[in-house]
Structure 1
Amino acid sequence: MNIKTTRFDVVDYLDSEEAIQEYFRQVMEDGDSDEIIRALGHIARARGIAQLAKDTGLGRESLYKTLSEGAKPRFDTILRVTQALGLKLTVAH
């Protein structure tokens, strides 16, 4: 029996605001900075990199690099991206 598989891509499941917000909430709760950057990249791809580039004033290629594995973006860049994506970084105690 031959089984056909496809590569998993979380972006396929970020198809609603609720899914995006819950995904980002869980990643933020874990607190791993590399995973947060990776998650922002997934969300950006789900929403459209071209629109994010327009909303942040950053180039598409720059965004791809900024949100790629191993990237170490500046905090102000992360703030611009999260704000453009409509996500909030909050502090709770």
Structure 2
Amino acid sequence: MTIRTRSHEDSVLQMLRDDEAFALEYLSVALEEIDEDGGEDSFLVAIRRVAEARGGLLNLSQNTGLNRANLYRSLAVGGDPKLSTILKVLQALGVGMSKVVSHRAEEEACA
């Protein structure tokens, strides 16, 4: 009998695509760690992974009107996007910055 398996990466991408709560938690944790060494890069890469899971950067570029090459540079290690870019990207991904920030606060209130 053959057991079909998927890579960890494929599983994470599927959860980021299909599970809104998981995507919010993923981004919230990355945002919570933004002040640590490498935290900014981790947050940008987390946004990029959600974008990749939800149609890719070409699709994101078309939905936001932002240049695709600039998105690749901005949402990478060492990227330095404007706040307006981050807000536009998160909005296009259907999560929005306020959801990312409030998600963590809601979880802490329930604990």
Same fold (TM over 0.5): yes
* Counterpart mapping for 1:19-58 below 5 A: 19-31=22-34, 32-48=39-55, 49-58=57-66
The alpha carbon displacement at 1:20 in A equals 1.2
Q: Give the distance between the partners of 2:67 and 2:8, measured in 1 at CA.
A: 27
Once residues 70 and 8 of structure 1 are traced to their aligned partners in structure 2, the CA distance between those partners, rounded to angstroms, is 25
> Are 2:41 and 2:76, in contact at CA under 8 Å, matched by a contact in 1?
no
In structure 2, the CA distance between the partners of 1:15 and 1:86, relative to structure 1 (3 Å rule), is closer
Q: How many residues are treated as equivalent by the alignment?
A: 88
Match of 1:83 in 2: 91
Q: By how many angstroms is 1:84 displaced?
A: 0.9
Q: Which runs of 4+ in 1 moved over 6 A?
A: none
Aligned-residue RMSD, C-alpha: 2.4
Q: Partner residue of 2:108? A: none
* TM-score normalized with structure 1 length: 0.75
Structure 2 gap ranges (5+): 1-6, 106-111
Task: Find the counterpart in structure 2 of residue 4 from structure 1.
Answer: none
> TM-score, normalization: structure 2?
0.65
